[in-house]
Amino acid sequence: MGSFPMTKPANAAERRHLARIAQLPCLVCGREAAIHHITSTGYARITRTHRLVAPLCPDDHQYGPTAIHTIGARLFHALHGIDLYKWASVEWDKSQALEKNKLTVPVKVNSQ
């Protein structure tokens, strides 16, 4: 599978999301992971963004015999039981909720 260039740099919320996902272990084996940008639902190509990402180790991302870049999204899902598109969508929603909560936390003001 080829590389898909980003259409624009990540905004601040997307950078925080990427940092949060980068701290997670590989979804397949639990090892240290890197960011995989989701480019397919398993049935259709989608635009590559910084919002739909998942943590995968190098073997499960690019280099192993069952890596997403080796076998494709549909077979990856069937083999590993992980729908990366759905997982990434849920995680983006979690990041958005964290952003919203962070912005709506009341600030205490000393009134004397």
Domains and CATH numbers, the chain: 12-97 (3.30.40.190)
Cα dihedral 84/85/91/92 (nearest 10): 150
Q: Is the per-residue pLDDT at 106 higher than 80?
A: no
Tokens of 53: 């990402």
38 and 85 in contact (C-beta within 8 Å)?
yes
Strands 34-37 and 53-56: antiparallel
Q: Is the per-residue pLDDT at 109 higher than 80?
A: no
Tokens of 64: 């192993």
pLDDT digits (tens, 9 = 90+) for 19-30: 999 999 999 999
> What pLDDT is attached to residue 59?
96
> What pLDDT is attached to residue 7?
65
31 and 25 in contact (C-beta within 8 Å)?
yes
Task: Report the largest interatomic distance among the alpha carbons of the chain, rounded to a whole angstrom.
Answer: 67
Q: Is the per-residue pLDDT at 31 higher than 80?
A: yes
pLDDT digits (tens, 9 = 90+) for 37-96: 998 877 888 888 899 999 999 999 999 999 999 999 999 999 999 999 999 999 999 999
Strand residue runs (E) in 9-77: 34-37, 53-56
Give the separation between CA 65 and CA 86, rounded to whole angstroms.
23
Q: What is the pTM of this model?
A: 0.80
